[in-house]
Amino acid sequence: MTHDVTDVAGRRRTRRLSPLREWLREAFWFAPVVGLLGAIVLALLTTAADAWLIDVLRDAGETDEIDDLLKISDDAKTLLNTVGSSMLTFIGVVFSISLVALQMANQFSPRVLRLYVRSRITRVTFAVFLATFAFTLLVQFENEGNNDPRTATSVPVVSGVVGLVLVMVSLLLFIAYVHAILRLMRVHQVIDRVARESLAALRDQPLPSDGGPPPSDADSGPLPSASGPHPGDSRPGPPGSPAQPSGPGPRPPAGSGEQGRPGYGGPDSGEVRAGLPEAGGRIVYSGPAGVLRSLNAGRLVRLARRHGVVLRLEPRIGDFIVPGTPVCTVHGGPAPTGRRVRSAFQVGVERTFHQDPGYGLRQLSDIALRALSPAVNDPSTAVQALDRIHQLLAVLVRRPLGEVHHRDREGTVRLVQPLPTWADLVDLGLVEIRHAGAAAPQVSRRLVAVLDDLVRLAPEGRREPLLRHRTLLGRAVARALPDPAEQDFSMHPDRQGIG
């Protein structure tokens, strides 16, 4: 199944700032730097306000009022000095708590550490604490220490009030920070956070303006590879593979819709993809090796329109690519080159939720696998992860999947982008847990309940991967538990596992 995303008015448009926003969310330094710059501006404004207040009172001949302000200036200086020294202690405490939280999170899965890095409350707390410290230092530096009401040019009145307000805000943020970190140290909160971010990422995935047709019987199928059928599946591989000779007439391209994941076949393969002009070249990646984190689809659409070609993206978001990896097959003309092509691909050291609908399932599966490891042996945590995997798959079970057609303003397809298929997502969420939890009745019972529930929710064409997993689970339980009574107990569906 394919979906169209266009630049026509009234339809969904690619958000150009999405990669920048995602990068800023993961740049821990950004919020503290903004806080320091804000502290500098605030210190300049408050010291200017203090000087303006003295000028106004002197012009009005209010020398007594200036003298009264000077009497409390010593208290204000003491307050600022105390705040400046205490904020260093607060910053050290926050830093220590953060390190402990990171060590605790690493026990769940290394991939959930990014939740702490992206935590808004952590960054805001550091930013406000550093801003308060910098503000007090700058105000004390600007204070002249002149107590003569006739010649004094500034009294830290406004600065002292602002410093006191910053202290109160810092205390409230410290309470909120400790509360948030304690929540993230609890595994069920981490699992819930991963699920919520996954759902948010799914909402940002491109879909037709009308929401797309419901999945049909052809919308599901296990993921064939270029070399043959899916492991453990009796169905043939993609057209042209040894398991299925290609016949005459039009056929869907390998990797299109829900028929399978595209390979890296280029124009020399002799294949003409259905519905597209003949392939005329490939765009080869030339940047540093890493994970394909995001794609600037709007830039590629404009580039393809300018050259009068259609681009088919070969790797999916989340794939690891190296220099020389073909990233696009070009149909209808020669391959465009240049910096704009390279800059459309955002590569990093790890996957993110941005444009990657399967990353949440990857994290939840990792948490369950860590819980089922012999060193931890915590099947209850694995069941909690399965609860959220169940939730995500239930959202995806009727969602149109496959590939997206990005169109230009005239409605012409310019970019074909593959997305994970239903079988891909089911395998990602359940395969490893099925293998690791076959001997744990709590996990197998919950897994049977997940599969039975999804079979009821799924349309006919998407039930086969679920039924296949149920069959394989029964075989795995039979191998792990030779006693038939134990097998019957382990294969009984239970939404709580055992309870």
DSSP 249: S
| pLDDT < 70 stretches in the chain | 1-19, 22, 59, 61-64, 66-71, 73, 142-154, 207-275, 338, 499
pLDDT at 392: 95
What are residue 407's DSSP bridge partners? 413
Structure confidence by residue, pLDDT tens digits, 429-472? 999 999 999 999 999 999 999 999 999 999 999 999 999 999 99
* DSSP annotation string for 287-314: S-SEEEEEE-HHHHHHHHHHHT-EEEE-
Structure confidence by residue, pLDDT tens digits, 1-58? 444 444 433 344 444 446 677 677 777 889 899 999 999 999 999 988 888 877 777 7
For the chain, the distance separating the N- and C-terminal CA atoms, rounded to the nearest angstrom, is: 40
pLDDT at 491: 94
CA 211, CA 499: separation in Å to the nearest integer? 38
* DSSP annotation string for 351-387: --STT-TTHHHHHHHHHHHHHHSTTT--HHHHHHHHH
Structure confidence by residue, pLDDT tens digits, 269-292? 333 344 677 777 888 888 899 999
pTM beyond cutoff 0.75: no
